[in-house]
Structures are given as C-alpha cells and as structure tokens.
C-alpha cells in the first residue's frame, strides 16, 4: 500500500512553494528527504525531515495535548475521531502529528509536532525517556503488587523493565508508574498478569513535559525554557 504524500504536494502544502516550483527544485537536486536527495515522485511520511536549498521550511511547532477517552491517536475507523481531526475541527490546528500512541480507552498527555527529530528520538526504544501514568485498578494495591510492578512483570515472553511505582495516599486502588519503554497496552497487560484490571489510565508526563492544568481535548504550546529543556533531554540542537 502506498503511504505518505508526493514531495511536490508536501512542499506546496507547507507553503514553501508551488507544485511547479517544487518540481524544478527537485529536478535541480535541491530537495532532500532525511538527508537523501529527493526524486520526482518521492513520497514524504509524517516523521520525515524535508530540507530545501534556497527555500525556508515551516517553523517547528511543539504542542502538549490532553487526549480524552474515546479519541483515537491514529487511523480512526468509520465512527471514530482522531486527534488530528479533533484539533483541526476545534481549534483550526493542523500540520502537526502525534508522537507515539495512547489507546482509545486511556487519556492524558500526547505530544504533537512537525519536527521529525522528536518523533524518532522519543520512539526509539534504546533511549528510554520517562513516561509517567496515573492508574486506578479494581482492588486495593498491596506490597506484593508494587514490588512486582517495580521489578518487572512477565507479559507473554517479555519481562518489562524496572519501573518507578508509588501508591496514592488517599486512594488504595490508585498508583503512579513511570516507564522508560512503551510496549502496546503495557500497563494494562502488566496489571492483568498480576490479577488486577485497570479502570482508568492517564498519562501525566513525557520527559519534562507535564499535563499541567489542561482539561480533556485542550492543548498548549511547548515553548521557552520548557522547550529548551525538552530538546536538550532528547539531544536535539
């Protein structure tokens, strides 16, 4: 299946030049995709970095978004709505893309950007950037549960990496967990392996970016010192 958009359409959509101008730039070898000279007909994925000689690309944008329950991160079905569509309809925000996923029944922080470097760095499994979650399960959390969640839980043939786990002092069924990996439905599967069922799951932090005072389906710009620290943690200059 063909994916991405044609490079000339991408450059036009980004406001860099017309499609005809784009074809001329491409033919002259002045357009690169991830450092490789583009060809007429090359296609661009959301995570790709496109550079052009003599033309300035779009400004980098970084957003923190509170994904509400029931919203799809990517590729919605016929009766579903995804983050990009929700942002466009509610706020007119477009041309930024979610970094990673958060399943339909979960809520909380999602980062969106048009900077492919962030996507590659955050989703790279060997870099281990922290992600913190607030979780409520179906019965009180005990010492045995906390110990196993901290040490690592075997889910199918994989044992999860050590995690930071802290109980909530006011609700015995609630805890926070900080992971440095992102397996599919990982927290739900870890809890299920120990005989617990997740009732609610909210991501509250990615690296130094926190959900803060955002309410469901609201967003804010990541900028200033917060952005400087974030990019530094990712090793991006």
pLDDT top residue among 52 and 163:
163
CATH code for position 223: 3.30.70.580
Examine the domain organization and report whether 190 and 169 are in the same domain: yes
173 plus 214 within the same structural domain: no
Are 144 and 176 members of one domain?
yes
Q: 202 and 140 in one domain?
A: yes
Q: Are residues 105 and 218 in the same domain?
A: yes
pLDDT for position 159: 96
Does 117 lie in the same domain as 145?
A: no
Average pLDDT, the chain: 90
Three-class SS of the chain? CCCCEEHHHHHHHCCCCCHHHHHHHHHCCCEEECCEECCCCCEECCCCCEEECCCCCCCCCEEEEEECCCCECCCCCCCCCEHHHHHHHHHCCCCCEECCCCCCCCEEEEEEECCHHHHHHHHCCCCCCCEEEEEEECCCCCHHHHHHHHHCCEECCEECCCCEEEECCCCCCEEEEEECCCCCCHHHHHHHHCCCCEEEEEEEEECCEECCCCCCCCEEECCHHHHHHHHHHCCCC
Task: Note whether 177 and 74 are same-domain residues.
Answer: no
| Residue 38 pLDDT class (50, 70, 90 cuts) | very high
Residue 199 inside a domain? The answer is yes
Q: pLDDT by residue (tens digit) across 141-191? A: 999 999 999 999 999 889 999 999 999 999 999 999 999 998 999 999 999
Task: Please state the rounded mean pLDDT for residues 190-199.
Answer: 98
Range among 86-90, 115-119, 201-205 with highest mean pLDDT value: 201-205
**The domain that contains 159 carries what CATH number?**
3.30.70.1560
Domain-located, residue 139: yes
pLDDT of residue 90: 94
User: Containing domain of residue 198, as a range?
Assistant: 131-206
Q: Active-site positions?
A: 103
Q: Is residue 57 part of a domain?
A: no
In the prediction, which pLDDT does 1 show?
47
Number of folded domains that form the chain: 3
Band of the pLDDT at 54, cuts 50, 70, 90? low
For residues 195 and 78, state if they share a domain. no
Q: Are residues 94 and 142 in the same domain?
A: no
């Amino acid at each position: 299946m063909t994916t991405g958009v044609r490079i000339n359409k991408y450059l036009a959509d980004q406001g860099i030049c017309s499609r005809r101008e784009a074809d001329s730039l491409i033919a002259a070898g002045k357009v690169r995709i991830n450092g490789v000279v583009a060809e007429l007909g090359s296609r661009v994925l959301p995570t790709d970095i496109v550079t052009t000689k003599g033309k300035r690309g779009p400004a980098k944008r970084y957003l923190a978004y509170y994904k509400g329950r029931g919203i799809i991160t990517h590729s919605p079905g016929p009766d579903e709505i995804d983050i990009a569509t929700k942002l466009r309809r509610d706020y007119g925000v477009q041309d930024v893309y979610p970094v990673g996923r958060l399943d339909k029944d979960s809520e909380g922080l999602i980062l969106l950007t048009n900077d492919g470097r962030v996507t590659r760095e955050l989703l790279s499994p060997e870099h281990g950037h922290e992600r913190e979650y607030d979780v409520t399960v179906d019965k009180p959390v005990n010492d045995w549960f906390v110990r196993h969640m901290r040490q690592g839980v075997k889910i199918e043939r994989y044992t999860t990496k050590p995690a930071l786990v802290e109980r909530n002092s006011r609700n015995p069924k609630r805890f926070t967990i900080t992971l440095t990996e992102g397996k599919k439905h990982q927290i739900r599967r870890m809890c299920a392996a120990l005989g617990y069922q997740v009732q609610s799951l909210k991501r509250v932090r990615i690296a130094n970016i926190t959900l803060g005072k955002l309410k469901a389906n609201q967003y804010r710009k990541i900028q200033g010192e917060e952005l400087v620290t974030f990019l530094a943690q990712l090793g991006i200059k």
